[in-house]
């Protein structure tokens, strides 16, 4: 009897052990992998952490800070949830130190329907080997190869040639257009008419309250401008005496009257003479008569 019971216990033992070690259906599962396992300085490492959990739970991933990631540097981070109950953290890391290193663990936080949180660390098995960019067996520097000079193709000069031709054509067109628009001759200026027009304007300004001193100054300027334009006398640069000498031999009628008006304007300007408005009005009238009869 005891032998039969012992045999039954031995047969039932694997089933009882399997039931005792079987995981609950809602217990989360984690898996972390990386690739490749051998890189050179500056290469990127693909690091994936997958979490399978109950649909009623939520999951969050947390990476170490920059100090905890050393000698790795975070380049890219992305979380995907392909379906309900599965979350995937995909990161890309770069390493800049030579040696053999284990990848830093990822903190996976599970939160159930009541708000309770559980943090679990997940790290891949194995280590990664980081090698230098150059061959460590090298014992001397290789000679530097001379830089080959690149000769540009004639096609590279075509844009510059096109631009130069276009600019030259535009300049030529503008010059031809300007020559066409320029009048071949200008109409001669009627200096007498212009002087009389300025006298009328000066007379109106005097009626509006212009000071006699300013009136005589403008009257002197328009007489000098008229003589220089009509008789080619450098009246704008010469003094009144020099203007009188040139007019004396020119046979200009009423020259004495114009010179007298210039002398009177000089007295106002340099001798501080204080004429009245009526005197200025008389001088304007004399200038009109003298220029009209010339």
Write out pLDDT tens, residues 201-252. Answer: 998 998 998 998 899 999 899 988 988 888 888 888 888 888 888 887 776 7
Q: Is 175 domain-assigned? A: no
Q: Are residues 122 and 201 in the same domain?
A: no
CB neighbours of residue 31 within 10 Å:
12
Q: Looking at 131, 148, 171, which one is the last position of a domain?
A: 131
Q: Which residues of 198-220 are buried (b: 16+ CB within 10 A; e: fewer)?
A: bbeebbeebeeebebeebbebbb
Domain shared by 37 and 124, yes or no: yes
User: Same domain, yes or no, for 124 and 198?
Assistant: no
13 assigned to some structural domain? no
pLDDT 10s digits, 123-181: 888 889 888 876 555 555 556 667 766 667 777 777 888 888 999 999 988 888 877 66
- Give domain status of residue 209, yes or no: yes
User: In whole angstroms, what is the distance from residue 16 CA to residue 53 CA?
Assistant: 26
Would residue 171 count as lying in a domain? no
Instruction: Give the number of domains in the chain.
Output: 2
Report the pLDDT value the prediction gives residue 144, as an integer from 0 to 100: 66
Which residue segment(s) compose the domain that 70 sits in? 25-131
In a domain, 174, yes or no: no
Domain ends where: 100, 116, 131? Answer: 131
Instruction: Tell me, yes or no, whether 210 lies in a domain.
Output: yes
CA distance 94 to 75: 7
Residue 195 lies in a domain: yes
Q: Is the pLDDT of residue 26 over 50?
A: yes
Q: What is the average pLDDT score of the chain?
A: 81
Do residues 127 and 208 both lie within one domain? no
53 and 122 inside one domain = yes
**Domain CATH number, residue 109:** 2.60.40.10
CA atoms lying within 13 Å on the CB side of residue 40: 5
The answer as to whether 57 is a domain residue is: yes
3-state SS track over 130-184: EECCCCCCCCCCCCCCCCCCCCCCHHHHHHHHHHHHHHHHHHHHHHHHHHHHCCC
């Amino acid at each position: 009897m005891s032998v039969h019971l012992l045999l039954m216990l031995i047969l039932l033992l694997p089933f009882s052990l399997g039931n005792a070690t079987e995981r609950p259906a809602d217990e989360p599962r984690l898996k972390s992998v990386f690739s490749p396992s051998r890189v050179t300085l500056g290469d990127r490492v693909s690091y994936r952490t997958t979490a399978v959990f109950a649909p009623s739970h939520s999951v969050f991933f947390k990476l170490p800070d920059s100090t905890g990631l050393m000698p790795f540097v975070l380049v890219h981070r992305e979380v995907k949830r392909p379906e309900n109950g599965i979350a995937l953290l995909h990161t890309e890391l770069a390493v800049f130190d030579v040696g053999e290193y284990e990848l830093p663990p990822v903190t996976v936080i599970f939160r159930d329907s009541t708000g309770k949180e559980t943090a679990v660390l997940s790290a891949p098995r194995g280590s990664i080997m980081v090698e230098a960019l150059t061959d460590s067996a090298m014992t001397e520097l290789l000679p530097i190869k001379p830089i080959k000079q690149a000769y540009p193709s004639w096609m590279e000069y075509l844009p510059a040639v096109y631009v130069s031709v276009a600019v030259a054509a535009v300049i030529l067109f503008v010059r031809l257009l300007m020559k066409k628009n320029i009048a071949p001759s200008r109409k001669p200026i009627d200096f007498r008419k212009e002087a009389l027009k300025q006298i009328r304007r000066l007379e109106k300004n005097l009626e509006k309250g212009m000071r006699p001193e300013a009136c005589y100054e403008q009257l002197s300027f328009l007489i000098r401008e008229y003589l220089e334009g009509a008789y080619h006398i450098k009246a704008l640069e010469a003094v009144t005496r020099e203007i009188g000498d040139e007019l004396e031999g020119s046979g200009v009628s009423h020259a004495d009257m114009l010179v007298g008006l210039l002398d009177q304007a000089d007295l106002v300007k340099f001798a501080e003479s204080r004429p009245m408005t009526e005197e200025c009005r008389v001088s304007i009238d004399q200038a009109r008569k003298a220029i009209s009869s010339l």
